[in-house]
Structure 1
């Protein structure tokens, strides 16, 4: 539908005036407070995305490492030659199709594995410590684990085989749960952001209610008035998102620098063995940038829709004087 002369006159006076008075003040306490709130929520959203991606990356690495290996555990017993049993178990496992190799974990390697819990200088000959045979498997053509386990149990009564399936199932379940919790937290943060912008927009509309109603009365369209708020809230949202997202990215960089320095120590190597290296990939930084863009977009769209909805309420109030704007 073509614009009426009154609509064109009202919008032209606002947009082409030498020194136009903006509907939303360019700088006020409310805008600064809103930017701070958006910055905090953007920071939390970026941390959530980064934590979910980091844990998912570590869980995938754990799963890949576990699925590539299986172990045969041989328990010591009285009058039992454990060294001979280890070599026999190694030979049995290596004879199955799908097994790349089988290697015996000797006493020094076993001592290194137990060092985080038992300390150094332990004489394993005096302790009934189980011995291990590590089987490296072909991921594309895995062997028949049941057949290997049955053959080893029949030949060596004190031996048991663990293909780590229970650990893999737990890791998959943990990764899915973590992802669900992270998405739920992100949804709650973004919902709080939308509600905050709605209240802030309502407050700006209430403080300029008379001006907006007069502009709309003389012919200014709802889209034009919404555009004035949209531009203002876009810059508020973008500024807050950049501050919060930039802070999260800086924290990621600091954590990555700290991790790289500390993983080279003995304590860091032990933590990496137990929990992975928790490396921060490029996807984490890309996710933070996407959160910044999403927050700025949500802020803009929320402000626009809130203004249009409010002007619709003004029209309803004009049609029905008994209705109140507030």
Structure 2
């Protein structure tokens, strides 16, 4: 394709704008990926908590906690809508506490309750289960995870709003940079634009040429940024798979999973690339049209 005579071809400003668009697109794709990860995890949290509650059985004063656990299981299975009630072994309970207490803690020194994982069907009478446990197993209590879910949902919503706000700011900053770049390009081609006006070229023709030029630039820059972001997603996934486990990493996995970007994140990054290029093209056309009208008014 031959260089456009209206828009200055391969200039330093054009290369700088291309690099800037790539950086902005990279940041935007990272924001979209973060929102995607948090959204997927929040969806998983809601589904898991909607299907499961937990019975906590405090240690018995006489030491016969196993009997209390067995009684709590029997009571749970008698309530309509309860699919299963499975006691969590002490080894599995220790693994659940490991991210916070480490591997070498002595459970005998702490009054750690025994846990029973209860799977429920939609519409199960949780209130009846809680009431029967209170009446028949005084050491048992029911946790429906509602408080935990409320906190997690609030945190997820805040993080998603923050990610979307960052994405919006990146897009606005990109548009502002394009405005200044377009005005600079027009200033460099002022003589050409005046000649075109003299021979009868319409403003729409000039605007269309600038729009085409900046659309190509936007696709290149945003594509580079999107490709770098996709490479970062893949690298993060590989590191997450092969890196050793520490208590801090286990806590992160408990909340956010493996931090691997799924298909929605990649599709969101692709959409971000296309939207960024579109915003650049539309902004360039709007800037050219507005600038030409200002020139006409000033010359008139």
Q: Is the 8 A contact 1:63 1:171 kept in 2?
A: no
Which ranges in structure 2 are unaligned for 5 or more consecutive residues? none
Matches within 5 A, 1:232-311: 232-262=213-243, 271-311=252-292
1:35 aligns with 2:18: yes
Distance 1:218 1:248, change over 3 A: same
Query: Equivalent of 1:82, from 65, 68, 71?
Result: 65
Give the SS at the match of 1:169.
helix
CA distance in 1, matches of 2:97, 2:136: 27
CA distance in 2, matches of 1:122, 1:20: 70
CA distance in 1, matches of 2:110, 2:213: 73
Give the SS at the match of 2:147.
helix
CA distance in 1, matches of 2:163, 2:255: 23
Bigger shift: 176-185 or 301-310?
Answer: 176-185
Matches within 5 A, 1:47-126: 47-79=30-62, 81-120=64-103, 124-125=107-108
Distance 1:20 1:58, change over 3 A: closer
| 1:81, distance to aligned residue in structure 2 (A) | 2.6
Distance 1:233 1:123, change over 3 A: closer
Query: Equivalent of 1:206, from 167, 181, 187?
Result: 187
Q: Is the 8 A contact 1:62 1:276 kept in 2?
A: no
The size of the alignment, in residue pairs, is 298
Bigger shift: 151-160 or 246-255?
Answer: 151-160
| 1:77, distance to aligned residue in structure 2 (A) | 4.4
CA distance in 1, matches of 2:10, 2:112: 71
1:152 aligns with 2:128: no
Q: Is the 8 A contact 1:39 1:242 kept in 2?
A: yes
Which ranges in structure 1 are unaligned for 5 or more consecutive residues? 1-18, 320-326
CA distance in 1, matches of 2:166, 2:5: 37
Give the SS at the match of 2:55.
strand
- What value does the CA root-mean-square deviation take over the aligned residues? 2.2
Give the SS at the match of 1:157.
coil
